[in-house]
Chain A
């Protein structure tokens, strides 16, 4: 379809200020892999055709109706912080619909009934700050908390290190207002309501949560909120070997402490954290020197709640007691809120910060996408780590591993240079790692989502029949396949997702 015509129509709906067909607004900014591939291959030029920044629901409805009639792809986009390629445009004429500019308002904070209503472009950190003023918070905190928006969090069912204790975004999404591909608007669940419990009808809220923009466009989101836990104390437990570290995890679970975080970190992660401390100190961003011991297995722990002191004492008793007398871990306790904040920030930055630990930047790079975010049954983590390590060594890849041990979610992060040769290796490597994951009863993605890069492996995990049900759902809600096409494995999987037919080198 003629681009000028589409542009004109979009301008008609939103006004010139909120429509762009300028490269500056259209090139992919949120994905390391996509931009790396675009650098390496001449023919890859991943850009949307239009950016629109709608001001309200009515504009969205009009755009969607027009797109549906003319079979024009739309990608709803929030902060663009996903790691799965969720918002990478694949098809020509794609309209990138961005909510950050205008649809970024907190519509209601209902303290009486413990919920808030937000537009999709509200930033998580901002919502948390506003809720904090009322001693409230939205507990589902993802690793991208520094930038992500609520629309994207719901679209991806975002979660993170604290999810074993507090749950995922889906657990807090009470209801939604959704614009469907037809342009119709529906309300799901307990939208704008304080009702706590309801089983009326199919759970449509859960259907849209984590649908990654493929089923509908959120215009309002109702989020359940909670009181901020009163106390918190953090600790770093350093073990000389991995076995004692994982033995300790199982024993800590038996103590029934009120844990908000229990994170495993390997030596490279700790090294990354220490580098982070050093840089922050040099820039004057932290008040004093900090260092975590670089040991084979380390647990980063946060205890909350009114019994935090006795919980900490129980943890100390365990680690200093009989069970670990031959291989006693070192336990360092952090009480001050600033120290704790610095520690957890460094942990959050460990993932994106890994690029820093690579040799000087000489070419396009990537994280190996399909292994970034696996999960296995928690007790099988040691077995997974053992097998994954052997496999990684055989490929010459050196992944960094850290993870949320309570829910079995392991981030296996390997930053690699993008070269033709390496891509072939990466393809094979991620397949082998996923075979290990599936053999242990695990899943390909625990929190990052499917997006573009993982969809080729979906059928292996879910089976063809389940995929067919997903396709049926997609087809009935979006028969013209206009909402984020080429994602989630429900349509044709684009070649780029499989690193195939990438064309001539630049």
Chain B
């Protein structure tokens, strides 16, 4: 039981400002799934006024932690922090959904979220072995932290692959941990588990990076980015490593003229702001600057964009626990883009890409989807 479960419960005056844009509530307008209701459930669990039921789990673990409610709250309630603390409480009581328990067990056993052999972490680079192998575990100031999704999911291999190709073109030196890389611990942070096992991951990853003389870490995954930038820094205040998202570096390279997209792509494009990069990381302009440098593109901003942007439904472990719900959310978002006349969705997050891809594929939606790194590398001369 943590004080964080009750702290904001008392501050929330239940006005309902959080209802209008809530990712989950918009898929099914049931008060129990509103952010203020999640606050109420957290408080009432803490006060022992209600018991734990299947539905309690649904409400607490289905949240995508997109953070729109935090932005819309006039009282400054931190809904997402409260939900994380409540998740921890439920897990401590053995009431976590099955998908979540599997994820955690996998990280403990294999140091990645897929229960795969961690030695295969470099599989993604099979097509550019010559560009990657010399960099693995070498001493360098800049390191790429690849992350579990892109290391192990074949459909996402293109993301780190593209980044390396661009670095190669721009003459940027870098290092990688290879099979020494462990999961960043994102699922733990999303479950409010800040102590115990996760600290091993944090310590290990930091030590490995330090041993290679790393001064700056670049991630393509906004989840890893948030882990390093916020949670690792909270844990190790002395950590003297700068954390950047790949879109920031790429935007800079474009600006300096070190890379130049020259091939034309005539499409109406919408950028899917990843929640952990935008709303939480505050990075909105870098990916847009990259897109604007691409010849032929018409970048469309929807009524809800940047800090108000739609969540794709793939974050906050919603997809791990409730995959159908996550895909339904993505499908609704895709419909909104199609309705606005968009022809291509671009994102800079493996979770967004993966979830949107499934929604488009399963529902045969007439729209294209690209990762920003992959798109950029294709357009270079």
Question: What 12 additional pairs, Cβ within 8 angstroms, besides A39-B10, A283-B71, A283-B307?
Answer: A24-B56, A25-B30, A28-B40, A32-B14, A38-B47, A100-B31, A101-B30, A144-B16, A355-B12, A356-B75, A365-B10, A365-B11
Is B175 an interface position by the 8 A CB rule?
Answer: no
Residue from A22, A125, A352 within 8 A of B55 (CB atoms): A22
Residue from B17, B30, B75, B282 within 8 A of A146 (CB atoms): B17
A419 to B222, CA, bound (A): 44
Residue from A35, A147, A283, A349 within 8 A of B16 (CB atoms): A147
Q: Are B53 and A22 in contact (CB under 8 A)?
A: yes
Within 8 A of B (CB), among A63-97: 77, 79-81
Q: With contacts defined as CB atoms under 8 Å apart, how many contacts are there between chain A and chain B in the complex?
A: 136
Is B219 an interface position by the 8 A CB rule?
Answer: no
A104 to B19, CA, bound (A): 15
Q: B76 — which chain A residues lie within 8 A by C-beta?
A: 279, 353, 355-356
Is B134 an interface position by the 8 A CB rule?
Answer: no
Looking at B31, B36, B76, B284, the one whose CB has the most chain A CB atoms below 10 A away is: B31
Is B296 an interface position by the 8 A CB rule?
Answer: no
Q: A29 — which chain B residues lie within 8 A by C-beta?
A: 14, 31-32, 34, 36-37, 40
Looking at A31, A35, A276, A506, the one whose CB has the most chain B CB atoms below 10 A away is: A35
Q: Are B41 and A24 in contact (CB under 8 A)?
A: yes
Is A121 an interface position by the 8 A CB rule?
Answer: yes
Q: Are B44 and A27 in contact (CB under 8 A)?
A: yes
A279 to B17, CA, bound (A): 16
Which residue of chain B lies nearest to A365 when distances are taken between CB atoms in the complex? B10
Are A361 and B50 also in contact (CB < 8 A) when A32-B13, A100-B29 are?
Answer: no
Q: Are A38 and B49 in contact (CB under 8 A)?
A: yes
Return the CB mask of B1-35 against A: 1 if under 8 Å, else 0: 00000011111111111011000000011111010
Q: A27 — which chain B residues lie within 8 A by C-beta?
A: 37, 40-41, 44, 49-50
Q: B15 — which chain A residues lie within 8 A by C-beta?
A: 81, 144, 147, 351-352
A: residues with CB less than 8 A from B are: 20, 22-25, 27-32, 35-36, 38-39, 45, 51, 53, 77, 79-81, 98, 100-101, 104, 121, 123, 125, 144, 146-148, 276, 279, 283-285, 349, 351-353, 355-356, 358, 361-365, 367, 415, 506
A363 to B47, CA, bound (A): 12
Residue from B16, B49, B71, B307 within 8 A of A45 (CB atoms): B49
Are A101 and B29 also in contact (CB < 8 A) when A365-B10, A367-B13 are?
Answer: yes
B: residues with CB less than 8 A from A are: 7-17, 19-20, 28-32, 34, 36-37, 40-41, 43-44, 47, 49-51, 53, 55-56, 58-59, 71-72, 74-76, 282, 284, 306-308
Nearest-neighbour CB distance to chain B for A346, whole angstroms, equals 9
Which residue of chain A lies nearest to B17 when distances are taken between CB atoms in the complex? A146
Nearest-neighbour CB distance to chain B for A310, whole angstroms, equals 34
Are A361 and B7 also in contact (CB < 8 A) when A279-B76, A352-B74 are?
Answer: yes
Q: Are A284 and B30 in contact (CB under 8 A)?
A: no
Which residue of chain B lies nearest to A415 when distances are taken between CB atoms in the complex? B13
Which residue of chain A lies nearest to B67 when distances are taken between CB atoms in the complex? A283
Q: Are A30 and B32 in contact (CB under 8 A)?
A: no
A353 to B73, CA, bound (A): 8
Q: A36 — which chain B residues lie within 8 A by C-beta?
A: 10
Are A147 and B19 also in contact (CB < 8 A) when A24-B55, A367-B13, A506-B47 are?
Answer: yes
A363 to B28, CA, bound (A): 32
Looking at B8, B40, B59, the one whose CB has the most chain A CB atoms below 10 A away is: B40
Q: Are A30 and B74 in contact (CB under 8 A)?
A: no
Nearest-neighbour CB distance to chain A for B63, whole angstroms, equals 13
Are A349 and B34 also in contact (CB < 8 A) when A276-B74, A355-B75 are?
Answer: no
Which residue of chain B lies nearest to A99 when distances are taken between CB atoms in the complex? B29
Q: A79 — which chain B residues lie within 8 A by C-beta?
A: 16, 19
Q: A98 — which chain B residues lie within 8 A by C-beta?
A: 30-31
Q: Are B44 and A23 in contact (CB under 8 A)?
A: yes
Q: B9 — which chain A residues lie within 8 A by C-beta?
A: 35
Which residue of chain A lies nearest to B13 when distances are taken between CB atoms in the complex? A32
Q: A24 — which chain B residues lie within 8 A by C-beta?
A: 32, 37, 41, 50, 53, 55-56, 58-59
Q: List 5 A-B contacts (CB under 8 A).
A: A24-B41, A100-B31, A276-B74, A285-B307, A353-B76
Q: Are B16 and A81 in contact (CB under 8 A)?
A: yes
Q: Are B59 and A121 in contact (CB under 8 A)?
A: no
Are A23 and B14 also in contact (CB < 8 A) when A29-B31, A285-B71, A356-B74 are?
Answer: no
Q: Are B75 and A363 in contact (CB under 8 A)?
A: no
Q: Are A104 and B47 in contact (CB under 8 A)?
A: no
Q: Are A35 and B14 in contact (CB under 8 A)?
A: yes
Q: Are B50 and A35 in contact (CB under 8 A)?
A: no
Which residue of chain A lies nearest to B303 when distances are taken between CB atoms in the complex? A129
Nearest-neighbour CB distance to chain A for B350, whole angstroms, equals 24
Q: A31 — which chain B residues lie within 8 A by C-beta?
A: 14
Q: Are A146 and B20 in contact (CB under 8 A)?
A: yes
Looking at B12, B29, B40, the one whose CB has the most chain A CB atoms below 10 A away is: B29
Nearest-neighbour CB distance to chain B for A37, whole angstroms, equals 12
A506 to B37, CA, bound (A): 22
Nearest-neighbour CB distance to chain A for B321, whole angstroms, equals 16
The 9 tightest CB contacts between A and B, nearest first, are A353-B74, A147-B16, A349-B74, A352-B15, A23-B50, A355-B75, A100-B29, A361-B10, A361-B11
Q: B29 — which chain A residues lie within 8 A by C-beta?
A: 100-101, 104, 121
A400 to B337, CA, bound (A): 43
Q: Are A101 and B28 in contact (CB under 8 A)?
A: yes
Q: B17 — which chain A residues lie within 8 A by C-beta?
A: 146-147, 349, 352
Q: B55 — which chain A residues lie within 8 A by C-beta?
A: 20, 22, 24-25
Are A146 and B14 also in contact (CB < 8 A) when A100-B31, A355-B75 are?
Answer: no
Which residue of chain A lies nearest to B47 when distances are taken between CB atoms in the complex? A39
Nearest-neighbour CB distance to chain B for A416, whole angstroms, equals 12
Nearest-neighbour CB distance to chain A for B104, whole angstroms, equals 24
A220 to B19, CA, bound (A): 23
